[in-house]
Amino acid sequence: MKKIKYTIIALSTLIVLFNTSCKKQLDIKPESDVEADLAIKNSKDVEGVLIGAYTAAGLRGIYGGRLQATTEFLANDGDFSFYGTYSEYTELSSQAPTITNAFISDLWNAGFNTIGVCNTVLAHLDLVDTAKGKRVRVEAEAKFLRGMTYFDLARSFGRAWNDDHGSPTTNPAVPIVLTPTTTIPGIQKPSRSTVAQVYAQAISDLTAAEANLEVAKSTYASSSAASAILARIYLTQENYTLAETEATKVIDAKNNGNIIYSLVNLFADEFQYPGQATHVFNTTEDIFAIQMSSQSGFNALNEIFASADFGGRSETYINQQHFDRYETGDDRLNEFYDEDGLGDILTSKFNNQYGNVVLIRLAEIYLIRAEARIKKGAADLVGAAADINIVRKRAKLENTTATSAVDLFEAVKHERRVELAFEGFRLFDLKRYKESIPAYDSNGDPAGTIDWDSPKLVYPIPKRERDTNPNLTQNEGYQ
Amino acid sequence: MKKNLLTVLLVFSCISIVFAQNSVITGKVTDQKDGSPLPGVSVTVKGVSGTGTQTGVDGAYKLSVPSTAKVLIFKFLGYKEAEAAINGATLNIQLGADSKQLSEVVVVGYGTQSKRSLTGSVSKIKGSDIENIPVPSLESAIQGRTPGVYIQAQNGKLGQGIQVRVRGASSVSAGSQPLYVVDGLPITVDDFSTNGASTNPLVDLNQNDIASIEILKDASAAAIYGSRASNGVVLVTTKKGKAGATVITYNQYYGFSSPTGERKFLDAKQYVTFFREAAKNAGVSSTKIEARLQRYSAGNDDYKTYKINTDWQKQIIQHAPVQNYNLVFSGGTEKTKFYISGTYNNQTGYLLGNSLNQYSFRTNIENQATNWLTVGANLSLSRTRNNRLDNDDQFSTPEQITALAPITPPIDPRTGLVSGALDPTTGNPNNNYPTYFNPILNSISSYYKSTDFRNLGNLFAQVKILPSLSFRSEVGVDILNTGEDTYNGSLTLRIASTPNGLGVNSSVTSVNFNTNNFLQFTKDIGKSNIDAVGGITYQRQQNDLNSLTGSQFPSDAYKKLNSSADILLGSSTSTAYSLLSYFSRVNYKYNEKYLLSLSGRVDGSSRFGVNHRYGFFPAGSVGWVISEEGFMKKQQLISELKLRASYGLTGNSEIGNFPSRGLFSAFGYAGIAGSRQTQLPNPDLKWETTAQADLGLEIGFFNGRLSGEFDVYQKKTRDLLLNVQVPGTSGFTTITQNLGKLQNKGIELQIDSKNLVGDVKWSTSVNFSINRNKITDLKGQVITGSGDAVNRAVEGQPLGIFFAPEFAGADPNNGDALYYVNKTPGDRTTTTDYNLANPVVIGNPNPKFIAGLNNTLSYKGIDFSFLLQQVNGNQIYNGAGQYMSTSGDNGYDNQTIDQLNAWTTKGQITMVPQARLGASTGISPSSRYIDNGSYVRLKNIVLGYNFPKAMLAKAKLQSVRVYVQATNLATWTKYKGWDPELNSDAFSGNITQGYDFYAAPQAKTITFGVNVGF
């Protein structure tokens, strides 16, 4: 009996000890990530989340390149052909995106992810140091990213500002979300705000950013970057005076009395490929660029426009139609290469796999100002010609011969087409210029045109999104 | 007569007298059935304690008995106890088998039970059934052998992931693989592959070391494993030594593998004709198409004469020898038993560059230290090197070679090198010839070595506290280190995008610690028997991962990262979980007739929020052994009849380690570190719970000659752990939530028959199972699988159904693709607008039924067996159809032979739209790419010969068997792809099932082997 008694005592002791020591082990903290309640404790944490907002914006789904590439493909009027396997691009290239197009869905998600991270920063500003204007700067950078994102989402998912089917004040764009989601019950199902409301939100964010950021060259958002996006917005809104004002702020931006931004000498220098794929720093022409390196980021423009030799997929070839747009002697014609000597031509703009994705560069700003100067109430045609000529000169071309408003407008349209080709401008330019693109029937034969205000040139609200949020209406043509 | 009898008695009594003081009795114990010697039989003297011995290998014994000894008692497990009067110095006896005791012993959670008194549903597979089968892992070996277990390999690459579903999938987002327990230790089954295609960690287990595999299927059997038991539990028990002379066995086999099937593509003439037509139809100029054809014809005009006609899928097949050597020593004494084995296994896959090379060692030892203490250890060590291939979604995966044009020669005549290796104009590998990257270059210029070092072991001690009560403590550890070393050489420039090599080196160390401490109680009280177990178990697993990626190597001769001039990526991560549990089970048996079993487990897991850290998983079952009833004794027909019923709860928590936490992750931006939230917290997250009811009938006829087991079950799973889609406007796209319900119900049937006994032995075993899976509640959500997202989880439908618009073939007027609008069921209106066609259920990847038929025959020394396996009523979606069967839409991809039926003339009725180069219609996911996935397969067939003992005696050998064996020798299917047993390794998951994407066919392997016993 004694043996049993001892055994029982020994066993119970063992079990109690074991039990208590193991119970503690049930609380295992994640090591590779940080729990939300520990992630934002001080100023440095919030500044880190601001960097996180840049990384969110730099995802391939949006400013990492697919925003630009998808809109280029949708606006493709035959300047290039796609021979690849991404059905998303195939659909876009034939102006027939489906509501399940993953790249459109990614754009929506990546856009609102960026906005969500910016909202997280803005909700924790109270933790940011006030010394040296840090808090002001953090707030302004977050607002820059949020404002820019809202503008791009609005013009991708909503009808154009100048579209007279309805009006900006009635046409739906995207929902406006200004607070971060931190809990599951906190997930909202917002309705779409109007184009005008989203533009207004973007202008409000960007104006605040412009006012509170330094006028200085930066890898991050700067006052000039905010001015540049504002210039784009005002141009889209046909508010030419303000567009000119904002463009001029960028062009004349000075730091310690020195002009900050200038066109690089050679067009090719703007699209550097230093022997091998590697990170390059912003050029004097770059106003804002998503920073890429071998350690971070994904250049989706490289993926889709470059050849396999440069890390791309060798799937997008440029057609003669595009080369026919260039004047003889245009240096920009040299930014193409024949992949194999067999006439398969690609653009060299995105050959650097780890090259930055440039979102705003000075050449565009000159062309915005030129366009604004032509179109504004009291047109400044001389100023417009001067702006155009700056861009032409770098392309080793003579000054424009256009003098009339009509001719200068044609000249600026032409310059944008060749200067900014494949950089994600074409869809919005053709809407602003009310141009149409050729349509093809299912046999591939020409079948009329797709007009600038066709619902086919507006993205559908992704099916995934409408499945989760019944408050979202679908765009015309996708019901 | 009387006189004789008297004489005999007298003689005996004399002998008795002679040996009265200290007599020695010798004898031999043999089997009543065939007269074979029985080793290890316990021999004791009736009424005298402390005197006893055991028979040796030859069945002989020698025992000193006191003068008072009258009767000897012979006891041997599985045989009727016998008593024999001592009648001299020699006492030979035959023991008869005890049909009651003979009932199989089945391993269950934390113990064993006789099959006869089992009230749960457990399938047992004997180790001997799967020995020497040349497949990379044990799941493939048990495929088709047991009902209720659907096993599906991904593809024919060696060591790839394999899907095992016990009674259907009971989860949408969480893991659906069963829990694997080896000798009481839940082992690590994480997939540490980094190339997007999963590997199978069970490859590290040596099949030949397995004594038995038990699959716990219903709640009664599985609930003692609590929160991890919903997907079933697979208990693997390794071999133990037996007392007696050391048995040495040597097994060796050698053989060859080849693919089970081919897919038919266009030949050179068909290709050229087809693409010229496609170009014409798409308005592509003849100059352009001819230039392209010439390009793919290595720049010459051979394509015009179809001189080169390459069948690319043959180019990726290599000579594939398979060899395995296995040496085993086992034996021991009454007190110490051991089993020592060593195996070398070298399998070359039939796919170019694929091979698996493995060493494994095992030592199982058990020692009875004192009359109250037994200690032991089961330890295994293995090293598995897998030379792997890229996942199915890569241009470099072997089967993607079929996209290349048949007019392209394997060797480029311009360079004399493999096509694509060199472009003389650039000095680099070609980037536009052949059509795509040539996977053969990968096998020349790259490697992908995955090496597992695995140490699986546990120590145990068992203390006998009372005759009826013992305490067992087990401490086990599963240490798995998987290292991956990959190098993409300069020839892979076209896919690796780096001209000077790309290397990745990564390593995962997983330490899985487990301890079980429990009391076992067993006692007979009158006609009652109580068998109880209860205790505590604690498990903790930590995985530490490191990886480094570098590029820029001086040349392809330098392959290690110390030679890399540019380190691109470096990373280390850690993850861990722990589980603290309390469990108990009580089995009560009355008069061998009435059975009751109750079990329960409380699981505490680190994976869930404090709100739901502990879960309780109870189960109960009853059984009635009708054949033990008096009224059954009168008849001879039914020898065994048992009814059983069970109900209980099990859980599933396979969703990663931190799904309930709100998480921020770090990201770098041009050298500056930042972070952002990547996961919302869900403090209410808890297990998926499955309530399962099972009704079983076990019946035996003709004294066990014919036996059957029939089960019907229903599994209802609630609180599904779902990756729920949320509005993207929240900044997140999915959250993990307990939401939704699904159910599985089905029937299982197993029939075993000894058709012939005697000289010619023939037995047949049939199993058949039906499982119906249905998602009953997803709160209206539709969850899509990866790949083309045609696989869906939809309410009211089985998990993974194919959901897409229904293809209506080519428009007879113009060859455009048509889809059915399907606005309402049966709506046959057609449209060319894909967006207008409503998606409908176009197929189901879940089979209607699965079955197996195993036959074993033997006559004298010859043995023959074959196993047929059937999967029926499922569909397969060809995700690569959009490239290979697309009326020439996808550039110059070679097309499957059925594309020759493309529409050409007005009025033509065909399912293939007009061929239009790069501009065909009907390429979006639809029922166009659905195919029949049913198949019947000759899974295994063996013919063996055992040399006669007499002949071997001269060579001092115990046994020699030679055999020839084939796995997957023949497959009968209507599937047009390579092989119907597939799951794309790049996309497969719980939802994405039956999705073909260049999945390489299974291997057909023929081996010749020999087993020698010394």
For the cut 90, the answer to whether the pLDDT of residue B689 exceeds it is: yes
Domains (range + CATH), chain A: 41-253+267-361+425-464 (1.25.40.390)
Position B47 confidence tier, pLDDT thresholds 50, 70, 90: confident
Give the mean model confidence (pLDDT) for residues B715-739. 92
Strands B446-466 and B417-418: unpaired
Mark yes or no for CB contact B729/A177 under 8 Å: yes
Nearest Cα to A397, choosing from A333, A327, A348?
A327
Q: What is the mean pLDDT of chain B?
A: 91
Nearest-CA distance B678 → chain A (Å): 9
Tokens at residue A137, please?
A: 């700067």
Helix H, strand E, coil C: the string for B958-999 is CEEEEEEEEEEEEEEECCCCCCCCCCCCCCCCCCCCCEECCC
Nearest CA in chain B to A354: B670
Tell me whether residue B637 is in a domain. Answer: no
CB of A99 less than 8 A from some CB of B: yes
**B396 in helix, strand or coil?**
coil
Domain count, chain B: 2
- Whether chain B has a CB inside 8 Å of the CB on A283: the answer is no
Summarize the confidence of residues B956-979 as an average pLDDT: 94
Q: A204 to chain B, minimum CA–CA distance in Å? A: 20
The helix/strand/coil state of A258 is strand
Give CA–CA dist B427/B780, Å, rounded: 57
Chain A partners within 8 Å of B661 (Cβ): 30, 33, 35-36
Both B61 and B152 in one domain: the answer is no
The answer to whether residues B108 and B208 belong to one domain is yes
DSSP conformation class of B132: T
Q: Which of B229, B250, B271 is the last residue of a domain?
A: B250
pLDDT digits (tens, 9 = 90+) for A188-246: 999 999 999 999 999 999 999 999 999 999 999 999 999 999 999 999 999 999 999 99
User: Could you give the CA distance from residue B1001 to residue B960 in angstroms, rounded to a whole number?
Assistant: 35
CB contact under 8 A, A36 and B573: no
Q: Which of B101, B121, B153 finishes a domain? A: B101
Domain-embedded: residue B408: no
ipTM at complex level: 0.93
CA distance B60 to chain A (A): 39
Distance between B205 CA and the closest CA of chain A, angstroms:
29
Pairwise CB contact (< 8 Å): B730 & A115: no
- For chains A and B, what is the number of CB pairs under 8 angstroms? 269
pLDDT band at B13 (very low <50, low <70, confident <90, very high): very low
Verify that B122 and B210 share a domain, yes or no: yes
Are B85 and B201 contained in the same domain? no
Whether B676 maps to a domain, the answer reads no
- Smallest CA–CA distance, residue B281 to chain A, in Å, is 7
Q: Does A1 touch chain B (CB under 8 A)?
A: no
Q: Does the beta-carbon distance from B498 to A311 stay under 8 Å?
A: yes
* Residue B84's pLDDT band (cuts 50, 70, 90): confident
Residue of A28, A182, A358, A464 to mutate when probing chain B, most B C-beta within 10 A: A28
Contacts of B11 (CB under 8 A, 6+ apart): none
Last residue of a domain, one of B70, B101, B132: B101
Q: Do the Cβ atoms of B919 and A444 come within 8 Å?
A: yes
Out of A33-42, B1-10, B263-272, B458-467, pick the least confident: B1-10
In this structure, are strands B840-843 and A34-35 parallel, antiparallel, or unpaired? unpaired
Residue B953 confidence (pLDDT): 85
Q: Is residue A4 less than 8 Å (CB to CB) from chain B?
A: yes
Look at residue B5 and tell me whether its pLDDT is greater than 50: no
pLDDT exceeds cutoff 50 at B17: no
Greatest distance between any 2 Cα atoms in chain A = 115
Angstroms from A164 CA to nearest CA on chain B: 26
Contacts of A180 in chain B (CB under 8 A): 677, 731
Q: Give the Cα separation of B752 and B125 in Å (integer).
A: 13
* d(CA A388, nearest CA chain B) in Å: 33
Do B82 and B211 fall into the same domain? no
Whether residue B87 lies inside any domain: the answer is yes
Return the residue in A18, A25, A106, A150 with the most chain B beta carbons within 10 A, the one to mutate for interface testing.
A25
User: ∠ CA B717-B719-B720 to the nearest 5 degrees?
Assistant: 75
Which among A468, A473, A478 is the top mutation candidate for probing chain B, defined by the most B β-carbons within 10 Å of its own β-carbon? A468
Chain A residues with CB inside 8 Å of B669's CB?
51, 54-55, 58, 291, 296-297
Name the average pLDDT for chain A.
Answer: 93
Within this chain, do residues B94 and B108 fall inside the same structural domain, yes or no?
no
Asked whether the predicted pLDDT for residue A10 surpasses 80, the reply is no
B241 and B110 in one domain? yes
For residue range B987-1003, list pLDDT tens digits in order.
988 999 999 999 999 99
Q: Which residue among B495, B658, B674 places its CB closest to the CB of A51?
A: B674
pLDDT at A2 > cutoff 80: no
Residue B223: inside a domain, yes or no? Answer: yes
B425 contacts A36? CB cut-off 8 A: no
- Same-domain check for residues B92 and B110: no
Token pair 């290349």 in the structure block, residue: B404
Over residues A143-159, mean pLDDT: 98
The pLDDT score that the predictor gives to residue B569 is 86
Residues B97 and B127 both lie in one domain? no
| Cα–Cα nearest to B600, from B580, B579, B620, B617 | B617
pLDDT digits (tens, 9 = 90+) for A49-98: 999 999 999 999 999 999 999 999 999 989 999 988 788 998 898 898 99
> Are B668 and A55 an interchain contact pair (Cβ–Cβ within 8 Å)?
yes
Do residues B158 and B240 both lie within one domain?
yes
Check A98 against B924: CB less than 8 A apart: yes
pLDDT tier for residue B780 given thresholds of 50, 70 and 90: confident
Which one of A86, A120, A181, A192 makes the best mutation probe of the B interface by having the most chain B beta carbons within 10 Å? Answer: A181
For residue A175, what is the nearest residue in chain B, using CA coordinates? B729
Rounded to the nearest 10°, the torsion over CA B160, B165, B168, B172 is -50
Say if pTM beats, i.e. exceeds, 0.90: no
- CB contacts of A311 in chain B (<8 Å) are 497-498
A405-419 vs A381-394: helix crossing angle, rounded to 10: 30
CATH number at residue B52: 2.60.40.1120
CB contact under 8 A, B663 and A180: no
Q: Does A78 contact chain B (CB < 8 Å)?
A: no
pLDDT in tens, B462-500: 999 988 999 999 999 999 999 999 999 999 988 876 788
- Residue B50 in any domain: the answer is yes
Measured between CA atoms, the residue of chain B closest to residue A25 is B578
Tell me the CA distances in angstroms from B1012 to A10, B206, B248, B902, B1009, one per residue in order.
49, 19, 8, 60, 10
* Same domain for B160 and B187: yes
Q: How far apart are CA B276 and CA B285, in angstroms?
A: 10
Domain range for B221 is: 103-250
List, for residues B848-875, the tens digit of each pLDDT value.
Answer: 999 999 999 999 899 999 999 999 999 9
Q: Rounded to a whole number, what is the distance in angstroms from the first to the last CA of chain A?
A: 83
The nearest CA of chain A is from the CA of B721 a distance in Å of: 15
How near does any CA of chain A get to the CA of B577, in Å?
7
> Residues B156, B161, B163, CA angle at the centre, nearest 5°?
100
| CATH code of the domain containing B130 | 2.170.130.10
B431 closest CB neighbour out of A22, A339, A343 = A339
Residues B95, B96, B99: CA angle, nearest 5 degrees: 140
**Sign (positive or negative) of CA dihedral B393, B397, B401, B402:** negative
Query: Taking CA atoms, what residue in B is nearest to A297?
Result: B669
Which phi-psi region, left, alpha or beta, contains residue B283 (left: φ > 0; alpha: ψ -120 to 50)?
Answer: left
B910 close to B902: Cβ distance less than 8 angstroms: yes
Q: Find, in chain A, the residue whose alpha carbon is nearest to that of B787.
A: A102
Quote the Cα angle for B175-B177-B178, to 5°: 125
Nearest to A51 among B672, B781, B835 (CB): B672
Share of residues in chain B with pLDDT > 70 (%) = 97
Alpha-carbon distance A467 to nearest alpha carbon in chain B (angstroms): 7
Q: CA angle at residue B813 from B811 to B816, to 5 degrees?
A: 40
Contact status of A465 with chain B (Cβ, < 8 Å): yes
Give CA–CA dist B961/B864, Å, rounded.
Answer: 12
Q: Using the structure block, give the residue that is written with the tokens 């994640």.
A: A30
Task: Tell me which chain B residues have a C-beta less than 8 angstroms from the C-beta of A99.
Answer: 835
Give the tens place of pLDDT for each residue, A286-301.
999 999 987 788 899 9
Q: From the CA atom positions of chain B, what is the Rg in Å?
A: 32
Chain A residue closest in CA terms to B614: A26
Task: State how far the Cα of A51 lies from the Cα of A44, in Å rounded to an integer.
Answer: 11
**Which residues are CB-contacts of B113 (< 8 A; sequence separation ≥ 6)?**
B105, B106, B531, B587
Give the pLDDT of residue A441: 65
Q: Are residues B69 and B138 in the same domain?
A: no
Q: Which residue has the higher pLDDT, B23 or A215?
A: A215
Are the CB atoms for A388 and A370 separated by under 8 Å?
yes
Residue B101 has pLDDT above 60, yes or no: no
Residue type, B1011: N
Q: Which strands, in side-by-side order, build the sheet including B42-45?
A: B52-54, B42-45, B71-75, B82-85
A34 touches chain B (CB under 8 A): yes
Closest chain B residue by Cα to residue A289: B670
pLDDT at B11: 43
In angstroms, the CA A356 to CA B550 distance is 21
In tens, the pLDDT along B813-839 reads 999 999 999 999 889 999 998 888 999
Closest approach of chain A CAs to the CA of B662, in angstroms?
A: 5
Quick one: pLDDT band at residue A20, thresholds 50, 70, 90? low
- Distance separating alpha carbons of residues A368 and A128, to the nearest angstrom: 36
Mutation target among A33, A54, A281, A440 for the B interface, most CBs of B within 10 A? A33
Residue at B668 is within a domain? no
Question: Is residue B664 in a domain?
Answer: no
Distance CA(B409)–CA(B122), nearest Å, equals 56
Contact in structure between A142 and A53 (CB atoms under 8 Å): yes
